[in-house]
Amino acid sequence: MSQEKHNEEKPYLGFGLGLRTEYYETIFEEKPKSIEWFEAISENFMVEGGRPLHNLDKVRQDYPIVLHGVSMSIAGEHEIDYDYLDRLKVLINRVQPAWVSDHLAWTRGSAHNLHDLLPLPYTEESLAHVVERVKRVQDYLGRQILLENPSTYATFTHSCLPEYEYLNALCERSDCLLMLDVNNVFVSAENHGWDAFEYISRINADRVWQHHLAGHTYSYAGKLIVDTHDQPVREEVWNLYAHAVKCLGQVSTIIERDDNMPPLDELVQELDFARSVQADALKKHAAQLV
């Protein structure tokens, strides 16, 4: 795989949404211009044919698409699943996505997919393991991948690196890119007592190609925050997003919603608010530089 791609200008798609079946009819009939691109869950379309691919092709006619996976299990101890990567390559060739992403997590033991994004210790040993796997996956796919920072609810006692330092090192050593989920930063920081603003300030801006924004839920008598994607983006996450824009610049952004689905117009309003937050943060940052 070419090691020169990260030196190219960072692509910017604007503001998009996670592609969900509830909104297909409206998307096909109205082709809303306020939505500039869609993020599709890779595994939903890694099939040989049928309605899912038909619908994805229809969306792709009018909008850029990126692919976001949930079961690559890049941090797993198991062998890399090349059957999975073969099916992903077929989908990539069909859709020609702007980029491909997955999660910094493991999702399986040996044979069984656990259908959850499980955390890993932030150690030099695990970093070397993940770097080696990311390089192999990128070589096989023939492209860089973006990895998403996790939302976590427990930590490992033997972790010795801050998460932001682990992410920066992973990107540098493997030549991968980062999809920075702002809500995940907030959720993990609140759960573990981190400083979310300091975290984002420490991230290598050159590697961040995409942001996620989403809602979360307070559980267990308010003692734990869960990344549920079933609520509007909260004010504290908007504030953190504005900080991310100041630190990391203009980055393609989507809003994720996976449950308690509102009318599409409500998500479009949130998307318009994200535009205003980004524009205001960029304006304020530029004024500070004068």
Q: Where do the domains of the chain lie?
A: 10-289
> In the predicted model, is pLDDT for residue 5 greater than 60?
no
Query: Are 35 and 20 a contacting pair, CB within 8 Å?
Result: no
**Is pLDDT at 64 greater than 70 in this prediction?**
yes
Burial degree of 177 (CB within 10 A; 0-12, 13-18, 19+): buried
pLDDT computed for residue 156 by the predictor: 77
Q: Which residues pair with 148 in a beta bridge?
A: 103, 179
pLDDT of residue 112: 62
Which CATH code is given to the segment(s) 10-289?
A: 3.20.20.150
∠ CA 235-239-240, rounded to 5°: 115
Residue 23 · residue 52 · CB < 8 Å: no
pLDDT of residue 113: 66
Q: Where are the beta strands (DSSP E) in 214-251?
A: 217-219, 224-226
On the 0-12 / 13-18 / 19+ scale of CB atoms within 10 A, 40 is buried
pLDDT of residue 49: 86
When the pLDDT of each residue in the chain is averaged and rounded to a whole number, the result is 92
Taking residues 16-32, what's their average pLDDT? Answer: 97
Q: What is the pLDDT of residues 136-190, one digit of tens each?
A: 999 999 999 999 999 888 887 887 899 999 999 999 999 999 999 999 999 999 9
pLDDT given for residue 7 in this prediction: 42
More confident residue, 119 or 247: 247
Q: Categorize the per-residue pLDDT at 98 as very low, low, confident or very high, splitting at 50, 70 and 90.
A: very high
53-63 pLDDT per residue, tens: 999 999 999 99
Q: How far is CA 144 from CA 197, 213, 279, in A?
A: 27, 23, 28
In Å, how far from its chain's centre is CA 165?
Answer: 18
pLDDT for the residue 6: 43
| 213 bridge partner residues | 255
pTM (whole model) above 0.95: no
